[in-house]
Structure 1
Amino acid sequence: MTRSRSWRSEEVARNDRALLRAAREVLAVDGAHASVAAIAARAGVGVGSLYRRYRTKQELFQRLCLIALREYLDAANEGLAMDDTWQGLMHYAMASIRSGPGSLAPAAGTFDVTDEMTELARRGDRAVAELVQRAHRAGVLRAGVTAVDLELLIEQLSKSPLQEQLQCQGRTELYDAALNARERIITIALDGLRAGPAGALPGQAPGYELFTMRWAPPEGETAE
């Protein structure tokens, strides 16, 4: 009986993780119009399973927001704990970019903000402001860059239209190339924040197949 309850708890936890991941992915593509049915289908569960865990779409989005705010706060505090000021700032930026596909910004205004969310946001804002101020004091951050500049840049870089398109097309043969290209773009953008010379770019220079091959039907299929 105990083993059965444990297995059930593990299944519920797996389904919850899948729902939350799917919700962020669908939200990144469909924005505030993301449907419960699309989220459930992407997670591989029934709509009924979603509603057993979250009574409304608002409740699901509130949960997503809380998780994201905690992740951002943890990343900022971890960055502040690093001795290298630039690496601390980049740790926060990269962790925030990679915390999930896209941004939760499309859902803004579609659900009620709780007191817990407000408090986490305030703590996160203070930590990020300190990261930016510390980087300026150390002379490693480009003059004039603000915490808002950094947050808006992270919001832009957290979304990858190219990867989303390839995923929708099922173009798995281009996934590694697209991932490499995205890493380079992120590095280029973040290096633009440096007060000094930029560092070396990661990976290989992307090829134009990332553009041209998107227009060709996937292998084994023909255009109608």
Structure 2
Amino acid sequence: MRDLLAKYGRIAPLRADEERALIGLATTRRSYSPGTALIVGELDEPDQLFIVDEGRLFASIDLPGGERAITRLYFPGDIIGTANIPFDKATHSITVCSDAALYLFPRGHLAEAFSSLPRIAAIFYTFAAMENAILHDRLVSIGRTRGVSRLAALILEIAARQSLLHEPAGDCFRLGLTQAEIGDAIGLTQVQVNRLFRELDKAGVIARSDGWISIVDKPALIEIGQFTDRYEHLDLSWFSEND
């Protein structure tokens, strides 16, 4: 729950009553192993929401022919399942990709927090808007850029997400995805992803070691990925801390 408070606190310092409301969303904490399907699209009722305490997860949609598209990545501090709230059936699947610990709560608790504390709703909306912008950027990247640009943009997206909770932002981190999963996120095959990693490594833009990625030349990687950090370029002038 610490990471959720830290993430929301990046938008505006949280008051004591707001921290209590967020902590009170859930009391049940469970652990999950990699490969666990938390939600199976079109099958599960979407009443259950999750707060990521540890680990990584992703949202995906199964495509005709057995292929899969990964649409969103989840990190500690994220709330999972909110995109399903308006519907009676889940719109996508949620899968655990590394050992994870999650807090569980019904979606009604979120509505109660929004009603009693409007600033929580405003912060939530801000992050939802950012996540929509990030998804839009990735869709444009997949449709209009070369494979190496897509991979560079994804590496930078994950680095930006890491920086929300870790300051100063580090340029050495685990991607937390297999090469097959990376391919599903950027519309490439596992073989293509492997080749492009080697290309970036050989160019001296990144370095890899035991599952870790180091960004060696960030300006060059940003240029290759045509990347905009949506978490850095925020206009919070409309946001009132007195509501």
Q: State the TM-score, normalizing by the size of structure 1.
A: 0.32
Structure with higher helix content: 1
Query: More strand per residue: 1 or 2?
Result: 2
Q: TM-score, normalised by structure 2?
A: 0.30
Task: Give the structure, 1 or 2, with the largest relative contact order (CA under 8 Å, sep 6 or more).
Answer: 2
Computing the radius of gyration from Cα coordinates, the structure with the larger value is 1
